[in-house]
Amino acid sequence: MNKGLGNMLLETVGLKKSFHKGKVTIPVLAGVDLSVRPGELLAIIGQSGSGKSTLLHLLGTLDAPTAGEVHFEGRRIDNLSSSRRDKLRNRHFGMIFQSYHLLPELNTFENVLAPLMIRYSTWGYMTRRHKYRDAATELLEIVGLGHRLKHRPSELSGGEMQRAAIARALVAGPDLLLADEPTGNLDHQTGQEILELLCRLNSEQNLTIVMVTHDTGIGAIADRVVRLVDGRLAEARAPETRTTKKRIPA
C-alpha cells in the first residue's frame, strides 16, 4: 500500500462556504485546506452544525463553494459544468448518507444498480446488464445482503439499508467513498458492524474513504482524523497511528 505517498487524490484550497438567510450571511466554512491521500480512511470529526456535511457536499460537488477550490486527482472540479460534475459523481465518487437515501420504489438489487443505470443509456445498460447483475450480486454478498436482493428498502432494517447504500456507492467502482455520518441513525452494535465493513473495504480493496461524523469514538478507527472547529480544520492525529484501527475487531 502506498498510503501517504504519491499525489493527493482530493485536495481543497481555502474552501469557504456561507449561507444566506434573508439578509444575514452565515459563514459555515471559513477556509478549509484538506488533502486526502489515495487509499486512506480519513475521518472528519465535528460538532453538530459545524459544517461537516457541507464540507462533504462540497467535496462531492453537490454544492458549489463560496470561495476556494476543490481538486480531484490534480484537476479543479468545483467549477466544472453541471453535466461534467454529474459524470464525475457517477464515475469517481460514491456517497453514503446518515439516512441511507435508498429509492423507496426500487428493491435492494435495483437500488444497487441505479448508478450504472444512470451512467448508461437504456440500450447501453441492457447490453451490459448480465455483467452488472453479477457485479451487483457479488457486492451485495460482500456487504452481507446476498439474501435480501428483492426486498424493498421499507422491508430492510437500518443496518441492512446502510449496507445496501454502501453496495450502491461501490458498484460503479469509485475512486473515493464519501460517507456522511454513516452510523448516525444506527444503534451502537449495528454502527460498529458498518464501520467494520468500511474498514475492511478500505484495507482489502484499498478504497479511499472520507467519513464525517460527530462521534469521536468512531473517529478512532480512521487512518487520520481531522477536526472541524469553527469552519476550520485542525489536525487531531497523525496518519501513522494505523495500529489503533487494528484494535477494533474486524
User: Interface with another protein by CB under 8 A: which residues?
Assistant: 54, 57, 60, 62-63, 82-83, 86-91, 95, 97, 101-106, 110, 114-115, 117-122, 125-126, 168
Which is nearer to another protein, 132 or 183 (by Cβ)? 132
Distance in Å, CB of 36 to another protein, minimum = 18
Rg (C-alpha) for the chain, rounded Å, is 18
Which is nearer to another protein, 90 or 244 (by Cβ)? 90
Which is nearer to another protein, 2 or 154 (by Cβ)? 154
Which is nearer to another protein, 53 or 213 (by Cβ)? 53
Distance in Å, CB of 167 to another protein, minimum = 13
Distance in Å, CB of 58 to another protein, minimum = 9
Distance in Å, CB of 123 to another protein, minimum = 9
Distance in Å, CB of 90 to another protein, minimum = 2
Which is nearer to another protein, 62 or 229 (by Cβ)? 62
